[in-house]
Structure 1
């Protein structure tokens, strides 16, 4: 029994490191390529695909105006990668640091897509190369996995483009354990899904205690600056998946969305449908860093 536990923990440690080191090659670029091809085919045929793209998720038609897709240009390749992000103000967004550089490949430009349920078609597009990665970001362990994107022009707020609120002073000590949260993204709905989907999706998740999350990962990945969600919902496995990186995890407070997490890591080997928790950058731990770059 002890031997099994040791191997289990060690396997997950390798699992997480692999995701971090090769995000763009293994996940971002292949997902972007499939989504772009699908959207172009849909545009040519004049039809819209409305299938889900987040594990256990539902379609999110203009429901989350703070969500922004990122089409990422990578050094050394003409292929694009993708991530998600959250609009914080008229010219600032927050995303995961590994969307900029994952230890293997680095980005040189971001195309920010706002007000659209699709990544390449529709919405408003803003190009920027200005990103501030947390100074203590560690791509080997997913720690401090947060970055701020600067836009060179202000976006105009509309019903489909609005910022999300950061936790206020009274919420900074809230762990949100037991709360029902929502994740939004362009990731797959199935680990074994062969074809990409093309519509923004969301999923309801339960925030769990970090001690439960550590059972599946490692103390190096799950720190006080990490927030985790359960991989099991009432209808079965739920969670973020390939392509959801950098996107928001949020709760509602008096019907107002509050950003509490940034999609960071999950299980690569066992997949998105194994009922394994997912890890996010805990926003309350980085409010000061965010505010330093907000204005």
Structure 2
């Protein structure tokens, strides 16, 4: 009885706030992967947004890694990652396990503005999810993937990690990814980017609640329908040439709802990451 009461209280608390998107691979990653593959094959596709963003040029984000995930059931899903050293990339933990589907192997795509073609492609099955990752609340949504050594060049290079106590609230940052360009629109075959403003965690908690937004969360406003979108999960959020966030969650009402999106705050995980580099 006690467990039932606690569960009901937890559900009531969660439903009092904006829902976040769940079951990533079934609802997002797998169908989006096929849509992007088809878009890359199309000769007349005109993709133009993350949501409210624009296409990125090759070399604009040399640390950006597309992520193709082979799931246990044989399906392919899609996400993003960030190169932090010659042998390590960061991504969201829910990319590797969303509570229902687990990735058994990933392909990191570096040095390309297309995820299904071009660039340097490195396959790995060596990854570690943060031990505190909670799929119910998306807390500690960060993971590290080990890849074979990759040399740096003009279009492939690591990025520095955020450190210290700077919350970046009010700062402008850039997000990049291969996710959808709108809630109902087609997939883009291109790497897209958008400029987003970081907000306080207090403002983000007012939307999603304290179960989902903890000290190690970072949020952007999503105002003016400019935001990360489904499929961008695990990708970078960058300010002052430092990685400050790993794309984690958005509202269950969609990417164009003028609501915040959440990221794993890199400075909060700096020691955990460096211990594995």
TM-score, reference length from structure 1: 0.87
SS of residue in 2 equivalent to 1:241? coil
SS of residue in 1 equivalent to 2:203? helix
C-alpha distance in 2, partners of 1:140/1:52?
33
SS of residue in 1 equivalent to 2:42? helix
C-alpha distance in 2, partners of 1:181/1:204?
6
Name the structure 1 match of 2:5: none
**8 Å Cα contact 1:183-1:203 kept in structure 2:** yes
Residues 1:127 and 2:128 are matched in the alignment: no
**Coordinate RMSD, CA, aligned:** 1.5
Residues 1:114 and 2:118 are matched in the alignment: no
C-alpha distance in 1, partners of 2:172/2:135?
28
SS of residue in 1 equivalent to 2:160? coil
**8 Å Cα contact 2:196-2:220 kept in structure 1:** yes
Structure 1, gaps ≥5 residues long: 1-6
1:251 equivalent among 214, 230, 239: 239
**Post-superposition offset of 1:65:** 0.5
C-alpha distance in 1, partners of 2:182/2:17?
20
Residues 1:65 and 2:62 are matched in the alignment: yes
C-alpha distance in 1, partners of 2:93/2:49?
22
Alignment of 1:20-39 (within 5 A): 20=22, 22-39=23-40
Structure 2, gaps ≥5 residues long: 1-11
**Post-superposition offset of 1:41:** 3.3
C-alpha distance in 1, partners of 2:248/2:116?
23
**Post-superposition offset of 1:212:** 0.6
Residues 1:88 and 2:84 are matched in the alignment: yes
Name the structure 2 match of 1:182: 174
What is the number of residues matched between the two proteins? 265
Alignment of 1:275-290 (within 5 A): 275-290=258-273
Name the structure 1 match of 2:95: 99
Residues 1:154 and 2:149 are matched in the alignment: yes
1:203 equivalent among 194, 209, 222: 194
C-alpha distance in 2, partners of 1:203/1:197?
14
**8 Å Cα contact 2:63-2:82 kept in structure 1:** yes
C-alpha distance in 1, partners of 2:100/2:49?
26
Runs (4+) of structure 1 exceeding 2 A deviation are: none
